[in-house]
Structure 1
Amino acid sequence: MSQNQQTITLFFSTPVQFKLLQLHVMALSANKAKDAARWADKLGVDLSSTWNDESWFNHSFSVGNGHLSIIVDTSTREGLPLAPLAELFEAGVIIGAAVDVFYDQVGEHAAYFFLSNRYTTKDAFLEAIPEAASAVEDYEASDSSYDKFLDKPIPKMMAGLKAQQADAEAAVVVMREMAREFMLTKKSPETILRHMLVRAAFVRGLFHGVVFTMLTILLFKGFWFWLLLGIAVTVALPIFYVHQITSEDSSDDDADESADGQDEEALAQAK
């Protein structure tokens, strides 16, 4: 079974924070829950839930000159350890972190750098923490798909990645639905997609109408007025959204027909 390996190298705000996290990780590694909790209280951060999560396994750690590296194996679906990094940054425990990931399925490494709770480049990272050079000199460039998150706070990066995952899962659901409907109806994929877009537009309009009705009733005086207006909006919005979809389809069809006519005219003139 394929699995990735993450090496999480942490750089600290103070020597005291360095020592406290080292003791916390040592206790976690030795399965000494009480000691781990005691050091976590002093540190202000508890990594036990992340450490003991089933997504992390084969834990180990090493200590260097002013830095601590946590090495874990993960599934190939596991993302970067953004949540624990954000927690360490927000508690003032670390000033920087570098994550080297070995992607087993492709046999390649990629590195990701974080500074003051933001995703950053290797150059910016080393400029801020020059003493980290020896620890991360072999770390290769990160995946370019993360470039959109450069200089953004880790929490925003987490939200963006979560939205990307939701979009990808939604796309998979749409493809499965299209395949199922194609098998049942034998309609063309284009026709099926149009029907699905119309249904989605109807549901979106209905949802927006209900939300509008609830908010206006709660926020403004005049219950019956806003209720009746909300019902009207709830009826009108689905029709409006569906009309937008169908009118766009009609425009596309007209444009295609116009282009076909121009092509035929050009061919006739050429003859």
Structure 2
Amino acid sequence: MSQNAHTLHLFFEDSIRLKYAQLVYQYIAEGNTAEATRWAAKLGVALADLWDAEWFNQQVTAAPGYLQLNFDTGTSDPLPLSPLVALFGHGLQAAVLDVFYDQVGETQRMYFDKGQWVPRQYFLALYPHLQAIVEPAHDPDDGDEPGERAAADAHDPAKPLSVARLAKDEAKKRKEAQEAAEAFVEIAKAMGKNGVKNTMDGVIGVVVLGSALKGLLHAAVFTVVTVLLFKGLWLWLGLGLVLAIALPLYYATRTHSELKGDGGDGDGDTDGEAAAVGS
């Protein structure tokens, strides 16, 4: 069974809140929800914000100055950002989230400071002493320069972004993806009820129609802009009319070919094979 493996390093501002967080996650690992809830309350956060019941294989490692959490999630689960959102308001100073995507064999590492998702270099400039903790040790046998592999694994934002905003954006993307999937299912059901035997062809038809409308919109925009900016009203209106016919046909044909996998080379190959058989 494929899964995403997470390593979360948490660095707190003081030892007291580090200890509270340690007790919360140790009791979670032991399955003692009552005690975990009690210590989460002392930390000032709800247990539901610190842990998702769907996460599994949890392990807790306490070290001087930081806490390391290891746990797994399903491959379709979102990034575990809720603990960071909650803890940055209750004593967490910095964190590093390491995710290994088992399905593709790739690692993604994200760096956080004072409630913001920050670039790797920014983080290491602030906390150079943490590099040995949060990044894998350099292996000369890999043939990479020191830090090269860690830099490749880093998932950096274009600019610092609040963790709360990141979590909100991720939730929005997830909701949109879910809505798109549900819409696809509804389209398929509706086509089935209306006697469309090949549901995929029906969906392709909807997408092609959308492309045609896109071409019509582009033609309309072109016509309006050129009429406003250049002389020759009837000339540009005439050209706009031509584009209103040509662009939708072009977009629709191109989209249909891409979805169906049609191509000019395929026809040529077929003709060649037919000629060979005929000879």
Q: What percentage of aligned pairs have identical amino acids?
A: 28
TM-score, with structure 2 as normaliser: 0.62
2:111 aligned to 110, 113, 122, which one?
113
CA separation in 1, counterparts of 2:57 and 2:171?
26
The corresponding residue for 1:59 is: 58
CA contact (8 A) 1:50 1:56 kept: no
Superposed CA RMSD in Å reads 3.6
Report how far residue 76 of structure 1 moved: 0.5
Structure 1 partner of 2:80: 81
Give the AA of the match of 1:37. Answer: T
Letter in 1 for 2:33: A
Counterpart of 1:168, as a letter, is A
Specify which of 181, 184, 208 is matched with residue 196 of structure 2: 184
Partner AA of 1:132 in structure 2: L
Does the 8 A contact of 1:4 with 1:102 survive in 2? yes
Query: 1:152 maps to what in 2?
Result: 161
TM-score normalised over the length of structure 1: 0.64
Which deviations, in whole Å up to 9, do the C-alpha atoms of 1:147-194 show, x marking residues without a partner?
Answer: 36x411112112212222233334434555566649728888676347
Partner of 1:248: 217
Bigger drift between 28-37 and 174-183 goes to: 174-183
1:38 corresponds in structure 2 to 38
How much has 1:7 moved relative to structure 2?
0.6
Q: Is 1:132 equivalent to 2:120 in the alignment? A: no
Mapped to 2, the partners of 1:115 and 1:193 lie a distance apart of 43
- Tell me, yes or no, if the aligned pair for 2:50 and 2:86 is still in contact at 8 Å: no
- Aligned counterparts of 2:203 and 2:30: Cα–Cα separation in 1: 57
Structure 2: which 5+ runs fail to align?
A: 137-148, 221-239, 250-279
Provide, for residues 118-155 of structure 1, a one-character-per-residue CA deviation record: whole Å limited to 9, x for no partner: 111111112222331221122834575x736x411112
1:195-233 CA-to-partner distances (Å, cap 9, x unmatched) read 779xxxxxxxxxxxxxxxxxxxxxxxxxxxxxxxxxxxx
1:100 paired residue number? 98
Q: How many residue pairs are counted as aligned between the two chains?
A: 211
Is there any run of 5+ residues in structure 1 with no aligned partner, and where? 198-243, 261-271
Q: What is the match of residue 254 of structure 2?
A: none
Amino acid at match of 2:162: P
Contact 1:178 1:192 in 2 (8 A): no
Name 2:121's counterpart in structure 1. Answer: 123
Q: Which residue of 162, 172, 183 corresponds with 1:163?
A: 172
Q: Do the aligned residues in 2 keep the contact of 1:6 with 1:101 (CA within 8 Å)? A: yes
Closer, same or farther in 2 for the Cα pair 1:43/1:196, shift >3 Å? same
Residues 1:29 and 2:29 are matched in the alignment: yes
- Per the alignment, do residues 166 and 41 of structure 1 end up closer, same or farther by CA in structure 2, a change over 3 Å counting? closer
Contact 1:178 1:193 in 2 (8 A): no
Task: Give yes or no for contact 1:96–1:114 (8 Å, CA) kept in 2.
Answer: yes
Q: What is the CA distance between 1:74 and its match in structure 2?
A: 0.8
Query: Is contact 1:36-1:48 (8 Å) kept?
Result: no
Distance in 1 of aligned mates of 2:11 and 2:207: 51
